[in-house]
Amino acid sequence: MKTIKGGYHNKLLRINLTDHSYKTEEIPEEILLKYIGGRGLGVKLLFDELPAKVDPLSPENKLLFVTAPLHGSNAATASRFSVVCKSPLTGGIGEGNSGGHFGVDFKNTGYDVLILEGKSENPCYIFLTEESVEFKDGQKLWGKTTDVTTDILLEETDPKAGVACIGPAGEKGSLISSIVNEKGHHSGRTGVGAVMGSKNLKAIVVSGSKNTPYNDEETLKDAKKKWQTFIGEAPLTKNALKEYGTPALVNTINDRGGFPTKNFQEGYFANAESISGETIKELYYVRSQPCKACPIGCAHLTRTPEREGKGPEFETVWSLGAACFIHDLEKITHANYNCNEYGIDTISTGSTIACAMELSEKGYFDEETYELIRKDLGRDLKFGDADAMLKLTELAGKCEGFGKLIAMGSLRLAQKFGHPELAMHVKGLELPAYDPRGFYGMSISLSTSNRGGCHLKAYLVSTEALSTPFEIDRFSEEGKPGLAKLYQDLIATIDSMGVCIFTSFALNPTHYANMMSAVTGVKIDSKELLKIGERIWNLEKLFNLREGLTRKDDTLPPRLLNEAFESGHSKGIKINLEPLLDKYYAIRGWNNEGFPSEEKLKELGLLKEGKSIL
């Protein structure tokens, strides 16, 4: 029997917001061994506890904040925590992943997991320390932006505390709302902010100094040194991301004809240089703002003549920029600050605005909606209107005027006006800044992502565009389903260990396995590590199947399947997804409808009393 010797406090805090009660529980060691922490542990706990078909915005939904065994170890980038719930945007598994220092601050209170249940009668916030759990009046914070809320709470509690809070968008149930920590780090996708708001919970404040136990300090020291060396030598983590942040990718992706422009109508943005990392560095960069224990430092503080804040990131300059056919960097940066302050996901926000621009230009809105837009903006909505885009981020953050429709997300917006094909999404979650017609492997990565249109669960762009750890033909189908599975399984473990996906630009599965062994004292090799990732991926799939998502949801927008670019470096490419999906399902050990076979479930320990846990 394997025994865990470090990495966990083995304490779960369960809070019932309805009656403001709480209790502490132990987490079975078997579950920790099979799911690690972070995303994996959160999915396991949610799957076991949440009945099927629960309304995501009802008190019955649960909201989990989950730390990881590497938190507090000072291993490179070990600060990322997960927020898990049923998503109100997709109806499937909801999961946000954020950096900064909140995750480590939470772990320092002596807890590994926080499970929030029920709904507070009145707005409140929670102040959590090693000694106490306090329920505080949140009425005076209701309606305030995340930056103002954070400042007030740090003054009221502990200036060194960690704060995770929602803005007005989460309070009002916006399906694209996020949970924000340190004023600019987002648990940004799948509408987790709306779930927190539905519970009348404005914020969680954490403050503690309880050290996480570790198995062997010398072994851990050696593992950390090796990580530091490899991350310090890999070109992307040593140079590009450190120097320019994630917007360093703008020119690379654009030059390959895979930078979605005008709501994915084009794949090349002629004004990309205006929104690139190099231009941001020249005009608005102030300093690096690295997450806790991060040697990369891709997060940057920026300042315009009027405002300052974190970002914009690569996905943000794309969604609020190229996707909307806008290259006014100052207005994009201000729109990014709006998203930080109101608590909305920049990818979903920008993509939904781009969808609205196309709906508007094609005459698909009814007259009442056009009148509403004219009232809000003073004119019709068109691609390239930077002032309109900026105003709409504010209205979406406040859920006012036409912003109420933006707050629904692109799929519901497009469905409302009879043209769902103009929503660039998978499973209701807006797609990121990589057009699969320029990066063929991303077609299977995006379409099969359990949380919807997410690039971070299998970042095949690293091989198709960045030559890391090797280069493959970006237009070839060969090997892509198997590669997608490998990346999905690996990143599931990376998320569960609490480290950054960017470490995968420098490390391999053996590095991660050795670190887990050093932290926990449980010997694990790369094969077993990837098996844990496969188990997590399959459990997420089972969650989605239980909620009614099937093969029909593992697809891409019709535009990506039926329309080819007429110019650029990805000219003439269409995606033939179904054969790729067949191969992927077979490699996964699933049937042709995407249901895991009994043999696969048995192999992964996902059978209960000889039956599927579904």
CB 494 within 8 A of CB 459: no
From 101, 88, 342, 119, select the one nearest 192 (Cα to Cα).
88
The mean pLDDT of 595-599, rounded to a whole number, is 96
CB atoms within 10 A of CB 486: 18
**pTM, entire model:** 0.97
pLDDT at 279 over 80: yes
Confidence band, pLDDT 50/70/90 cuts, at residue 611: low
Q: What average pLDDT does range 522-551 have in this prediction?
A: 97
612 band by pLDDT with thresholds 50, 70 and 90: low
- Tell me: pLDDT of 1 over 70: no
Q: What is the pLDDT of residue 150?
A: 98
What is the pLDDT averaged over residues 131-149?
A: 98
Span 284-296, pLDDT tens digits: 999 999 999 999 9
Quick one: average pLDDT of 73-87? Answer: 97
Angle CA 485–489–491, to nearest 5: 115
Q: Is residue 248 predicted with pLDDT exceeding 80?
A: yes
When the pLDDT of each residue in the chain is averaged and rounded to a whole number, the result is 96
Phi, psi (5° rounding) for residue 347?
-65, -55
Q: What is the pLDDT of residues 150-161, one digit of tens each?
A: 999 999 999 999
pLDDT bin (cut points 50, 70, 90) of residue 216 is confident
Band (559; pLDDT cuts 50, 70, 90): very high
Residue 609 pLDDT > 60: no
- State percent of the chain over pLDDT 70: 99
Tens of pLDDT, residues 294-311: 999 999 999 999 999 999
DSSP string for 384-423: T-HHHHHHHHHHHHHT-TTHHHHTT-HHHHHHHTT-GGG-
pLDDT in tens, 356-394: 999 999 999 999 999 999 999 999 999 999 999 999 999
CB-based burial of residue 248 (10 Å sphere; 0-12 exposed, 13-18 middle, 19+ buried)?
Answer: buried
The pLDDT of residue 230 is: 94
Residue positions counted in the chain: 614
Q: What share of the chain is helix, strand, coil (3-state, %, to 5)?
A: 45, 15, 40
d(CA 97, CA 79): 10
- Separation between Cα atoms, residue 18 and residue 125, nearest integer Å: 13
Strand partners, 32: none
Reply yes or no on whether the pLDDT at 613 is more than 80.
no
Q: What is the pLDDT of residue 2?
A: 79
Which domains occur in the chain, in start order? Answer: 12-207 (3.60.9.10), 242-425 (1.10.569.10), 436-505+525-612 (1.10.599.10)
pLDDT tier for residue 567 given thresholds of 50, 70 and 90: confident
The stretch 544-550 carries a mean pLDDT of 97
CA–CA gap between residue 290 and residue 184 (Å, rounded): 12
Nearest to 112 by CA among 78, 48, 49, 68: 68
pLDDT at 299: 94
